Chains A and B, each alone.
Chain A
Amino acid sequence: MNDHVHVMSLRVLFGVFGALLVLTVLTVAVTWVDLGSFNLLIALAVAVVKAALVALYFMHLRYDKPFNALALVGTLLFVALFIGFALLDTSASSPGLIPGHQPAMDAKAAERSG
């Protein structure tokens, strides 16, 4: 009666586990190389790939009904909107939101004072 159950094969589970370990080592190793702003991009890209592996295989999303994937992707989309607009807003209208030394503001101040 449970023919519908999709059982993950051990090969896939251990394969994903291995990939996650390799990516973890990679993301730590890349911090020893100075790539400027690419360091953050690489770190985030590796995290997204790891998260996708966990979601698709450990969380079985690849074999589920698409509604569950929609819930996850939709949520991430809204979080991205939230963070994206918050960043646009703070950089455009209130860079002084948090007091303290701010390189960007200091540069502007130096420009204005000549």
Chain B
Amino acid sequence: MSGNDQGHPPELAHHFDSMEEQHESSKQGMWLFLATEILLFGGLFCAYAVYRSLHPEVFIYAHQYLDKVLGGINTVVLITSSLTMALAVRAAQLGKRKHLVIFLALTLLGACGFLGIKYVEYSHKWHLGLLPGIHYDPVEDSHATESRAHPDGGEPPQDSSPTVTEAPEHAIELDVGAGLTPARAADQPLPEPEQYTAPTSELTAAPAGPAGLAVEAYGNDAHDLGPEPRLVQLFFSIYFLMTGLHGIHVLAGMAVISWVLVRSAKGHFRPDYYTPVENVGLYWHIVDLIWIFLFPLLYLIH
């Protein structure tokens, strides 16, 4: 059977023998694309792993600002939208056009819900100044004061004078590792010392005596979080990069779901031609799959 047959389906490209072959090739290409997506996120997961292995105390301290319940709800929302996507593919295979449209619309709704909750979380962090890098400027609100338990009465970090920022430099002399001090001093501009750290708590975080004391404070009891460790802003860099890249994928997913939704409504798909639905479905599932790892790694740190 050759592609020159007059009676072949209009979607069949001439270099494929059959719709089945075309479908399988397309799906194979989609899987190779998904492989590159996993590699893309792999870089961020690597940054996460390296930083967490070097600074477990920062992760234990910072994750308290992430809402487990909102994260859990978002996980359920995404899993549900994955189910409706799988049901949409099923409807396409069975030629149930109305069901296909309904399930795609539900999937889109789930994506909106996910981003809505994500917006609530992001704006909460924005208001608390829990932002990446030099933008990290935590504000004391009632919740934060309660949970952060500043030994000196929750004095806002803004009040600290520039001289207090010298404390970390002093503490670092205890570390025998090479290149510790210059990296911090060079990376960040000195004129705005208040912007990049919360020095108030540094005074207690940086051990003046044997450094082993600090290990006990951070390592042994996860619930007694103690004073803020250094470089908490790097956790938020990782958090915003990972969830942000994931969020961009959700947006891209919404765009392609909308595209197949319109085509479904127009009746473009039949049981022997639903490749776009299936490939969009695969993309949406990988978005869910990545969140399945992001959720425990960012929200459920113990």
Are A and B co-members of a single complex? yes
Interface centre among A16, A31, A44, A74 (most CB of B within 10 A): A31
Asked if B215 and A54 sit within 8 Å, CB to CB, the answer is no
Which residues of chain B are near A72, meaning CB under 8 Å?
Answer: 31, 34-35, 38
Contact, CB under 8 Å: B172 / A51 = no
Is there a chain A Cβ closer than 8 Å to B162's Cβ? no
Residues of B within 8 A of A5 (CB): 93, 271
Per DSSP, chain A at the interface is helix
User: Are A76 and B38 also in contact (CB < 8 A) when A47-B292, A58-B86, A96-B178 are?
Assistant: yes
> Is A110 a contact of B28 with CB atoms below 8 Å?
no
CA distance A93 to B174 in the complex (A): 19
Q: A24 near B75 (CB under 8 angstroms)?
A: yes
CB neighbours (8 Å) of A104 from chain B are: 54
Chain A 95-107: CB-based contact to B (< 8 A → 1; otherwise 0)? 1111111111111
Report A78-100 CB contacts with B as 1/0, cut-off 8 Å. Answer: 11001100110011000111111
Task: Flag whether B231 is at the interface (Cβ < 8 A).
Answer: yes
Which residues of B are found within 8 Å of A107, using beta-carbon distances? 211-212, 215
B227 CB to closest chain A CB, in angstroms? Answer: 10
Q: Are the CB atoms of A98 and B51 closer together than 8 Å?
A: yes
Is B50 an interface position by the 8 A CB rule?
Answer: yes
Whether a CB of chain A sits under 8 angstroms from the CB of B296 is yes
Please indicate the chain A residues that have their CB under 8 angstroms from the CB of B58 in the complex: 100
> Which label, helix, strand, loop or mixed, suits the secondary structure of the B interface?
helix
Q: In the complex, what's the smallest C-beta–C-beta distance from B253 to chain A, in angstroms? A: 14
Q: Across the interface, which residues of B come within 8 angstroms of A31, CB to CB?
A: 68, 300, 302
One of B72, B177, B302 near A102 (C-beta < 8 A): B177
On chain A, the residues within 8 Å of B72 by CB distance are 24, 28
Nearest to A102 among chain B residues (CB) is: B54
Given contacts A27-B300, A58-B82, A100-B55, A7 and B175 within 8 Å (CB-CB):
no
Interface check B164, CB cutoff 8 A = no
> CB < 8 Å: which of B38, B206, B297 contacts A79?
B38
Complex alpha-carbon distance, A97 and B50, angstroms = 10
Inter-subunit contact A99/B79 (CB<8 Å): no
Query: Contact partner of B55 among A27, A34, A39, A101, CB < 8 A?
Result: A101
Which residues of chain A come closer than 8 Å to B210, judged between CB atoms? Answer: 110
Known contacts A13-B90, A50-B292, A105-B176: A100-B230 contact under CB 8 Å:
yes
* Residue B254 lies at the interface, judged by CB distance under 8 Å to chain A: no
Task: Tell me which residues from 7 to 60 in chain B have a Cβ below 8 Å from any Cβ of chain A.
Answer: 19-20, 24, 27-28, 31-32, 34-35, 38-39, 42, 45-46, 49-51, 53-58
Query: Do A110 and B79 have beta carbons less than 8 Å apart?
Result: no
Q: Is the CB of B49 within 8 A of A106?
A: no
Does residue B289 face the partner (Cβ distance < 8 Å to A)?
yes
Sampled A-B contacts (11; CB under 8 Å): A2-B93, A4-B20, A17-B80, A28-B72, A54-B289, A67-B28, A71-B32, A75-B38, A96-B175, A100-B231, A105-B176
Residues of chain A whose beta carbon lies under 8 Å from any beta carbon of chain B: 1-2, 4-5, 7-8, 10, 13-14, 16-17, 20-21, 24, 27-28, 31, 34-35, 39-40, 43-44, 46-47, 50-51, 54-55, 57-60, 64-65, 67-68, 71-72, 74-76, 78-79, 82-83, 86-87, 90-91, 95-110, 112
Identify the 6 closest CB pairs spanning chains A and B, nearest first: A96-B177, A106-B211, A39-B302, A79-B42, A43-B296, A100-B230
